[in-house]
Structure 1
Amino acid sequence: MIFGYARVSTNAQDLATQIGQLEAAGCERILHDKLSGLNTDRPQLRKLLAAVSHGDTVIIPATDRLSRDTADLLTIARDLRAAGIGLRSLAEPILDTTNELADVVLAVLGLAAKLEHKRLRERTTAGRAKAKADGVRFGPKPKLTPHQQREAVRRRDIDGESPASIGRSFNVSRQTIARLKLGGSSI
């Protein structure tokens, strides 16, 4: 059986063009979602993947309609291939796992997913570095305000009050008070 899958990102968008393309390609059953491609939980795609069986083919209008993430696309393509199900894209004829080039196609998708993952890590690292340079503090929010920290350090270091007693008054642990440093916080 030949299945089709179409997707648009919002309810305001129209599926008619994609459905027309899939019908023209010979799809006997077409399922479609109106969700962002970044959302990996697409009910109709899940239904499609459960309905297909060995020997079937899934046709998509374009790869970004199936998934906007290369790694997700690769996973779907590999799962379909392992189950003996072909995958074809109308807009990208290279994506056709129904012919003898299927291994090459999956290798290229795998390489693209690996490169995409590397670029994502690089962008994340650069974003974190910029945020740190801009003064963004990572980690949990301090349990005590700067004023409370100064007060706790004064009470501990100058007045000689025990960290447990100070901690109870600020509703924090003894260890939180003990970790405070003079002139700055370590929490």
Structure 2
Amino acid sequence: MIFGYARVSTEAQDLANQRAQLAAAGCERIFADKITSTTADRPQLKKLMATLAAGDLVIIPAADRLARDLTDLLILARDMHTAGAGLCSLAEPVVDTSGDFAEVVLAVLGVSAKLERRRILDRTARGRADAKAKGVKFGRKPKLTHFQQREALQRLDTGETQRSVARNFNVSQATIARIHRP
């Protein structure tokens, strides 16, 4: 059986164009979600995956309608391949696991996904390094300002207990203990 899968990110968007493309491509049954691809909970995609059997074909208007990134696309394509079904993208003819080259396509998608992941990690690291160089602080804001920390340490030095100092600054005793480490 030939299935189609369409997706738009919000309820306000229309699926009509994607449905028309899939119908023109010969899809006998179309599953459609109105939900962002960043969530793994796509009910119609889950139904489609549960429906697949050997010899089935899933047609998508474009790869980004099925998956948020290459890794996600690779996982879904492999799951379909394991079920005996093929995957074909109308916008990206190279994404076609329905033919003799299914294993090759999956291998290329796998390598591409690894490269994409590496590029994302590199860009993130460069962005973080640039931000640090500009003085951007990462992590949670401290519970106590530097002035409050100095005052808390002075109180501890005069013999006041951690519990008492913590109560006075309206923080936990653990917060005071962290700044009081010898």
Normalised to the residue count of structure 1, the TM-score between the two structures is 0.84
> 2:137 — aligned with what?
137
> 1:92 — aligned with what?
92
SS at match of 1:21: helix
Distance of aligned partners of 1:162 and 1:39 in 2 relative to their CA distance in 1, 3 Å threshold: closer
Distance of aligned partners of 1:47 and 1:175 in 2 relative to their CA distance in 1, 3 Å threshold: closer
Higher mean C-alpha deviation, range 91-100 or range 162-171: 162-171
SS at match of 1:137: coil
- State the 1:165 CA deviation: 3.8
Q: Kindly report the root-mean-square deviation, in angstroms, between the aligned alpha carbons of the 2 structures.
A: 2.2
The 1-side partners of 2:179 and 2:13 are apart by 56
- State the 1:58 CA deviation: 0.7
Q: Which amino acid aligns with 1:170?
A: F
Higher mean C-alpha deviation, range 100-109 or range 148-157: 148-157
Could you report, residue by residue, the CA deviation over 1:48-75 in whole angstroms, capped at 9, with x for unpaired residues? 1112222211111111111131100000
Q: Identity rate of aligned residues, in percent? A: 62
Distance of aligned partners of 1:73 and 1:155 in 2 relative to their CA distance in 1, 3 Å threshold: same
- State the 1:149 CA deviation: 1.2
- State the 1:124 CA deviation: 1.6
The 2-side partners of 1:172 and 1:21 are apart by 60
> 2:160 — aligned with what?
161
The 1-side partners of 2:162 and 2:20 are apart by 72
Map 1:103-118 → 2, pairs under 5 A: 103-118=103-118
- The total of aligned residue pairs comes to 181
- State the 1:126 CA deviation: 1.8
Is residue 151 from structure 1 mapped to residue 151 from structure 2 by the alignment? yes
Gaps of at least 5 residues in structure 2 are: none
Gaps of at least 5 residues in structure 1 are: none
- State the 1:22 CA deviation: 1.3
SS at match of 1:10: coil
Task: Please say if residues 38 and 69 of structure 1, whose CA atoms lie closer than 8 Å, have aligned partners that are also in contact.
Answer: no
